[in-house]
Structure 1
Amino acid sequence: MADLFADDAPPPARNDEPREDAPLADRLRPRSLVEIIGQEHLTGPEGAIGRMVAAGRLSSMILWGPPGTGKTSIARLLADAVGMRFVAVSAVFSGVADLKKAFAEADRAAQAGQKTLLFVDEIHRFNRAQQDGFLPFVERGTVTLVGATTENPSFELNAALLSRAQVLILERLDSEALGKLLDRAEALEGALPLTGEARAALVASADGDGRFLLNQAETLYNAQIAEPLDPAALGKFLQRRVAVYDKDREGHYNLISALHKSLRGSDPQAALYYLARMLTAGEEPLYVLRRLVRFASEDIGLADPNALVQCLAAKDAYDFLGSPEGELAVVQACLYCATAPKSNAAYAAQKAAFKSARETGSLMPPQSILNAPTKLMKEIGYGQGYAYDHDADEGFSGANYWPEGMEPQTYYTPVERGFERKVKERIEYWDKLRRERGQ
């Protein structure tokens, strides 16, 4: 057969070319396996798929990976590469009757000397009995099964089915792979109306999903934007609208803002005044308590961990006593928060960590710290090399817990106030141990 990986290898003939008005992602669909982006560990000459295609024989397989990474394209192109019939069913839309029909057609094709590749999208959505129904047809070679799933096969697929299929793991598309997809889109449609920084932001927003990225690019093309968008303008263009507060109750929000800022400013007298203004005007005490609970985490945090306990205890007391007796518990929580040492370190850490999580998307943790409850997960390296901290000197291994390719970050910086002073000392001590151990 022709060398799949030769630069001059012609793409296989197709009879299902997309229409000119088809979505951009469909028009950019790969025409051969060499055009698949980001999965070279599988489709390259040394990869499992590359080797099977070079040999001209396919085994049943499960393609496991995030959305938009090429599972459907790989299955379709596999059939082309080895000259097999391609039949696709979806576990979302297909039932037992559809499967019976597919197997019967595959039987007739086999008698005529034509092998069938049966692609089952979202295969994990079939129940256990339906999955068992595949077994006899896979075992006698009526079909070569290629299943696609975004879920862990160890938990979602029958052991009997897994034993008859090779699990191949697709990786989320990195920024380089996503950039190549945009290059292909621009070669077809022209330059995107984006600055260089905005283009990078668009790639980051895709979180490894090539289909999502191309859909976003198509939205930009369809809008016929005259001037290139910068990152801020791109964010405004693509984001959804959010609801705003009802301005009919502006006084309500003015008072809660004044209460919050008085608490933050450690002025118990002013805080008590605004609390009284709200309660005497008929404000719901439980609303005020919700704001106090939030304040205890946002503006006090670990400087005084007991502030959150006090606020929740006040909520329980009010639930038990009701008004007016329970309102004294609200006052007590308010005064406790106003006079407690302040720190927004936990709040700042949350914002920084959430921002980082959105930017890095679905990076996998190191395999050494992943649980491996199944044989498959152990075989692919989950849990190997884990350092159990309780066995280390001083109960601290100093291991690296960050995803591969991501530098350790500092989100939480304790202040020199209240209990956080002790937390700061602990963190500094652990950092010292890491440096001494060269980690």
Structure 2
Amino acid sequence: MNKKTIFPKRYFMVAGTFLLALLLYVDRICISVAKEPISEAMGLSDKQMGWVLAAFSLGYAFFQTPSGILADRFGPRKILAVIVSIWSLFTALTGLAFNFISLLIVRFLFGAGEAGAFPGMSRAIYSWIPLKERGIVTGINFSGSRLGAAFALPAVAWMIDSFGWRTTFFILGAIGVLWAIAWFVFFRDNPEDHKGISEVEKEFILSTRQDRETAISKEKIHFGSLLKSKNMWLAMGQYFCSNFTFFFALTWLFPHIKSEYGLTTVEAGFYTALPLVFGAFGNWFSGWLIDSIFKKGHWNKSRIFPASLGFLFAAIGLFGSIYMDNAIGAILFLSLAIFGADMTLPPSWAFCVDIGKKHAGAVSGTMNMAGNIGAFITALLFPYLLAWTGTTTLFFIIGAALNLLAIVLWYNMKPEKHFSEY
């Protein structure tokens, strides 16, 4: 056997995007762990911190489609290197924030910087990954984000206790710049441009990544053309529901569990890491399930069934957590909810690559924009509902209802049809 085929080059690309997803969520969740010292240093209320957390989602949402279009046009090599450098700068600048307004601005720009990460990954996946491997590859990438967040909860809690919250943000910013340099040096936009790839692997990728193009898939597109697609609207709606659930784990889960059950910072970090680890398992399981169903000749079912099953688990987990009166019980049900919510990610992003093809960056960016409007609402709704009702019950009921609605949306989606056709 040719030694060059033992470790396919596309797997090194997947390793790079896995590490990117891990870094993405380490940087993102750090603000949740640092909530108390930041609030104390600047005299911020929970509602003000809700706006700080929401500002990220707003910046992240607004720049999804533009950054996806840029990744399609200029390639994920340049775009990902640039945007990781930008968001790493604003990660570091978070450590220099001195009041509510400065923190709000920095976190909005940080979100705008992170916006192109997953659309850029989707564009790289279209070029490098065969259709039958997209489920597991997408699952691996998103599991990196969950493992990154799970690792960050206790690790960042320790860093903040040891070095202070400002220094912690400086360190994380520097790590991001190192990834950006390595990506630009080693990655290439297309397999045919990579000098180290074997002819066997190159031919395999080019012949199996997707076999049908439409005229529009070769043309430049704009936001309006995407919004004419029913597939696009359905993808946006279900991803709004998914992010409503998951973003709670990134923002309010840590302070909620710590306050509700009287835990220390490090204890709360370990407890709230568990749902995110379950999220990684959800991504792996869903990715495997997608590819297993696809290999049996069921393209539509390979996307719709794993997503719908995930949304059902998420609804059960959120609703069940309402009745728990101890930290362990609440965390177990919330782990089921995050496991389910993360099961929806591989089919969602594989769906975007399916219907977007060479415009996968723009399509996935538009879907992710809608999802992060859901995240924006989550960040604000949790503290406001808590202040209004004195309990978290209504928030979890709303989340469960949205998950059930998403199942209905999925059964109207058509992965085999390009966004220009449906």
TM-score interval for Structure 1 and Structure 2 normalised by the shorter chain: under 0.3
Higher strand share: 1
Higher relative contact order structure (alpha carbons within 8 Å, sequence separation ≥ 6): 2
With normalisation by structure 1, the TM-score equals 0.22
Task: Report which of the two structures shows the higher radius of gyration computed on alpha carbons.
Answer: 1
More helix by proportion, 1 or 2?
2
